[in-house]
Structure 1
């Protein structure tokens, strides 16, 4: 695997297993995540599997998940 950096092509992340939430819609438009060697996590848009991946440390992802669970981002979501 090449040097990891934010915005790198997800196609360069050889050997990772991408997963999506079971809450994803049937058309497959969702966010996918993959565990990285060393404990980090990559995130990509399922509509563009070779597009950019965002790379997060375990602490960064923990802060985000806590915020989601705590409702910090609820006002950003509108579902029609």
Structure 2
């Protein structure tokens, strides 16, 4: 996939490439392990990964785009 706007990061990158990003899982997630984790590795960027594969691929979004998406989901 293509690079995010001026961030230098790309979708499908390895979580390892994000270095010291702090990953968080929703407090509403169960113990089953079917969860996504979210990190804000740099200003204006949000990263999402599968909690079962923490070294696997990461989806990277502009922070504003992800926040807008989450707001629309909450109101649906």
User: Is the structural similarity TM-score above 0.5?
Assistant: yes
1:53 counterpart = 2:58: yes
Looking at secondary structure, tell me which structure has more strand per residue.
2
TM (norm. structure 2) is 0.82
Whole-angstrom distance in 2 between the partners of 1:12 and 1:41: 14
* 2:24 and 2:39 in contact (8 A); partners too: yes
Residue 73 of structure 2 corresponds to: 68
Residue 32 of structure 1 corresponds to: 37
Q: How many residues align?
A: 69
Whole-angstrom distance in 1 between the partners of 2:73 and 2:14: 26
1:21 counterpart = 2:26: yes
- CA displacement at 1:68 relative to structure 2: 1.0
Give the CA RMSD over aligned residues.
1.1
- CA displacement at 1:60 relative to structure 2: 0.8
5+ residue gaps, structure 2, are: 1-7
Larger Rg: 1
5+ residue gaps, structure 1, are: 72-80
